[in-house]
Structure 1
């Protein structure tokens, strides 16, 4: 159960509705997901989060599919079930195949295992991996 009610279009402020309209336009859908509806309680935070997300997830040096897959990996590490679900769906919509998802899960699992081992062992970082001053 959420900590705030999800706001319908009829219940949000004009500022939040403007963000919803932009989400619909950018994504080419009428659907506004629960994350945005929860954030709509704070229109300034809603707008700032949406603007930052559009910027970060836009095509750049990294392909949008790669960005979605990275989002899945970080969301897994952070234990965010909502984000794992929503960004897995987004990655699939951007072309992630079952084989790609399988490899992504293998990398996530491997990183979690080796991260746990190196953390438990408190292994010092090799000099060659340190940034030069």
Structure 2
């Protein structure tokens, strides 16, 4: 079984180096997160994923940068992704997340997960009033 290894800049091919350079330029840092170092085992996947993340998480749009990070963090918590929880907690904190905001976010994540599972278990039908044609 092949166990993927981190692809450091010095060992990367030109496609990967271009993505790494774009990550550095976009984030204004010399640091390349581990996710990118491991995704570089598949250069096409690395490039596609970076382009998507860069587009979705870019400033601008209807959601402010902190809200985007909080949504990403909430999904990461629900999916139990330790790596993403750590990286997006850090990013959210850098964009203004306080301990109070994190506490409220955790209350919402916990409640949503609880009620989602209750609704799924009870097989609760969706109320007709919530249907798009009734809006």
TM surpasses 0.5 = yes
1:36 alignment partner in structure 2? 36
- Hey, what's the Cα distance between the residues in 2 that align with 1:76 and 1:97? 17
- Hey, what's the Cα distance between the residues in 2 that align with 1:83 and 1:103? 19
Using the TM superposition, give the Cα deviation of residue 131 of structure 1 relative to its aligned residue in structure 2, in angstroms.
1.6
Using the TM superposition, give the Cα deviation of residue 80 of structure 1 relative to its aligned residue in structure 2, in angstroms.
1.2
- Hey, what's the Cα distance between the residues in 2 that align with 1:93 and 1:42? 30
2:19 alignment partner in structure 1? 19
Asked if the contact 1:69–1:104 (Cα under 8 Å) also holds between the matched residues in 2, the reply is yes
Using the TM superposition, give the Cα deviation of residue 71 of structure 1 relative to its aligned residue in structure 2, in angstroms.
0.4
SS at match of 2:11: coil
- Hey, what's the Cα distance between the residues in 1 that align with 2:78 and 2:102? 16
Structure 2 regions of 5+ residues with no counterpart?
none
Alignment map for 1:104-115 (pairs within 5 Å): 104-115=105-116
Deviations 1:65-105 (A, max 9, x none): 10110001111112211111111111111111111111111
Task: Give 4+ residue runs of structure 1 displaced > 2 Å after superposition.
Answer: none
Q: What is the RMSD computed on CA atoms of the aligned residues?
A: 1.2
Using the TM superposition, give the Cα deviation of residue 120 of structure 1 relative to its aligned residue in structure 2, in angstroms.
1.0
- Hey, what's the Cα distance between the residues in 2 that align with 1:109 and 1:10? 43
How many matched pairs? Answer: 131
Structure 1 regions of 5+ residues with no counterpart?
none
Deviations 1:96-119 (A, max 9, x none): 111111111110011111111111
Alignment map for 1:1-133 (pairs within 5 Å): 3-58=3-58, 59-132=60-133
Asked if the contact 1:12–1:41 (Cα under 8 Å) also holds between the matched residues in 2, the reply is no
- Hey, what's the Cα distance between the residues in 2 that align with 1:116 and 1:44? 36
